[in-house]
Amino acid sequence: MLIRSLALVLVSAIVATPALAQDRRVPSSGAELRLSFAPIVQRVQPAVVNVYAAKTVQNRNPLLDDPIFRRFFGVPGQQPEQMQRSLGSGVMVDASGLVVTNNHVIEGADQVKISLADKREFEAEIVLKDSRTDLAVLRIKDSKEKFTTIDFANSDELLVGDVVLAIGNPFGVGQTVTQGIISALARTQVGITDYQFFIQTDAAINPGNSGGALVDMTGKLAGINTAIFSRSGGSQGIGFAIPANMVRVVVASAKSGGKAVKRPYLGARLQAVTPEIAETLGLKSPTGALVANVAANSPAARAGLKLSDLIVAIDGQVIDDPNAFDYRFATRPLGGSAQIDVQRAGKTVKLTMPLETAPDTNRDEIVLTARSPFQGAKVANISPAVADELRLDASTEGVVVIDLADGGTAAGVGFQKGDIILAVNSQKIAKTSDLDKASKTSARVWRITVVRGGQQINVTLGG
């Protein structure tokens, strides 16, 4: 039997050899030798720009935090300043001078400049920043010129194996084009942004490519290059791009004059299906998004979504996990509705989900300035919109930290964005005015109760 098997293998190999040879041929013309990506590059390259961001920071001597040093040597009136610079790429998406890039490229910047492929430079202003997607939109100042742009591709139509080009400014060497294929779609375990649904490519992406274009073979924008997986700091063939359909949502919000991205609000908390849960539910594989909580009067509640429903599709697109649902739902246009397929008690139920923004009533944002552990913190009442922005449970109530000033006391003592303040010195904090009043009270010791990541923490700080 062994000999027969070997013979069969040899025969198969002999038969297959001519077929493989027929797949290879000598180019039949000079035109075939000149096949190139150059026409695509020439068309889109003028729309890819370099982004230069600068931020002024003070060099603070750590000895100034020592009270003995401050007592005997005093405090200098002015600390030396230093200019921190970052370099990235961007893509022109509107002829009036609207540029999309990564939020981390311009985060905290005092000055932003745009450099075109023809070496001209322009001052730019930040129109919109969206940390949830790591995208930002800039506008070139004081220019009436019509700029070259790139059209958006439908990133849902991309397939693994499609050829793509990455265009950007790696390591600041100048505009560079690299070529590769789409290695994977819907990567969800990357940990870069709130919306985990990335295009993976082996086109060489390096530091400085952030915010640059991932272009398909029709010359359209497939995604915005945003991160690499690397042990050396350089390209190792694993790069990630934000899909064009998500980029389109952020750009549309900027064009409409909004300072924040408007997205549909679900009003429910979803969890991943583990193998154990799948076995309990009688599923063949651990896929879908399981409903763990539904907020009262939310779009989810009005659509009829219930606890323990398993979401398996939205508008006919299969949902593998909560990250996939978040992305699909966030890219749906506001004002209409979406068809949600759920598994309930072994049966498929179709629900119509309204696509509307989260209510943002009684937000009451304030910045705390009184001398206290909260100095420099921006806080807000938790409205449904705030809960959605900070990825909190839809039913959460109270006061939450939404931003921290650089160099403020709150940042120095360890407060973080998303911290919920429950009590200060045994006083319950129900709204921002309560915290403002508590922060203005003199105290030698501050006893603070905080919820972070679902865990309650009791903190004691000196006054």
Residues forming the active site:
104, 134, 210
Q: Which helix (H) or strand (E) holds 402?
A: strand 399-404
Q: By the 8 A CB rule, do 232 and 204 touch?
A: no
Q: By the 8 A CB rule, do 108 and 406 touch?
A: yes
Long-range contacts of 59-64 (CB under 8 A, 24+ apart): 60/407
Specify the residue for token string 């919920």. Answer: 420
**Calpha distance 107→127 (Å, rounded):** 13
The string of DSSP letters for 69-136 reads HHHHH---SS--EEEEEEEEEEEEEETTTEEEEEHHHHTT-SEEEEE-TTS-EEEEEEEEEETTTTEE
The total of other beta-carbon atoms located within 10 Å of residue 332's CB is 18
**Calpha distance 224→120 (Å, rounded):** 23
Collapsed DSSP state (helix, strand, coil) of residue 137: strand
Nearest to 246 by CA among 314, 187, 331: 331
Q: Determine the straight-line distance between the first and last CA of the chain, rounded to whole angstroms.
A: 86
For residue 170, the 8-state DSSP code is G
The total of other beta-carbon atoms located within 10 Å of residue 174's CB is 12
Token duo for residue 101:
């890039």
- 454 Cβ contact list (under 8 Å, min separation 6): none
**Calpha distance 325→319 (Å, rounded):** 6
Q: By the 8 A CB rule, do 119 and 275 touch?
A: no
No. of helices (H) and no. of strands (E), the chain? 12, 25
Q: By the 8 A CB rule, do 178 and 228 touch?
A: no
Q: By the 8 A CB rule, do 41 and 167 touch?
A: yes
